Amino acid sequence: MLNARKWKNFLLEDNPKRELRTYSSFAVLINDDGKILILKRQNTDGMKFPGLWSFAGGGAEEGETPEAAARREALEETGITINNMEHIRTKSDGNKNIHYYRCLDFTGDVQKDKVLDEHDDFKWINPNELEQYHTLPELEHVVRKAFGTNVVL
């Protein structure tokens, strides 16, 4: 699990593109077949959690609400437009809150060129397949919340 010190180091890393952000937002996109969209983070130097699978999302820009950040990140990273979403979890990790949203109502298809700007791959998977992927901490718990269950998937 990611602790507060690691988040602070991540946020303060010497990278001009990365600013100190007080929260991040992630979209748990669930399609009509009940599959979730996961994205594989790039496996490059300087990338935090390289090669791990996660949801579309990231840090909020100045003045942006958590909901707006989730919508923007999903569009930027996948090409999908979120129409409606439901807040399912906020996790406090030191100085940063991480917001998760269940998204059942969205338009568009995943655009591979957008995915490949920040990720190496994407997949729509059944929730019970999640254990086959090396994911970010807490991903399984968030998926359980998104489906309204705390039982093993």
Residue type, 69: A
Which of the two residues, 131 and 13, has the higher pLDDT score? 131
User: pLDDT-derived band of residue 52, with 50, 70 and 90 as boundaries?
Assistant: very high
Residues 6+ apart with CB under 8 A from 118: 39, 41, 42, 77
User: pLDDT-derived band of residue 26, with 50, 70 and 90 as boundaries?
Assistant: very high
- Pull the structure tokens for residue 83: 């129409």
Residues 6+ apart with CB under 8 A from 17: none
DSSP per residue, 86-153? EEEEEEEETTEEEEEEEEEEEES---HHHHHHHEEEEEEE-GGGGGGS-B-TTHHHHHHHHTT--S--
Kindly state the average pLDDT of the residues 92-100.
87
Does the pLDDT value for residue 153 go beyond 80? no
Domains of the chain: 4-146 (3.90.79.10)
Does the pLDDT value for residue 65 go beyond 70? yes
User: pLDDT-derived band of residue 20, with 50, 70 and 90 as boundaries?
Assistant: low
DSSP per residue, 8-50? HHHHHSS-TT----SEEEEEEEB-TTS-EEEEEEP--TT-SST
pLDDT of residue 46: 74
Average pLDDT, the chain: 86
- Pull the structure tokens for residue 45: 């130097």
pLDDT of residue 131: 92
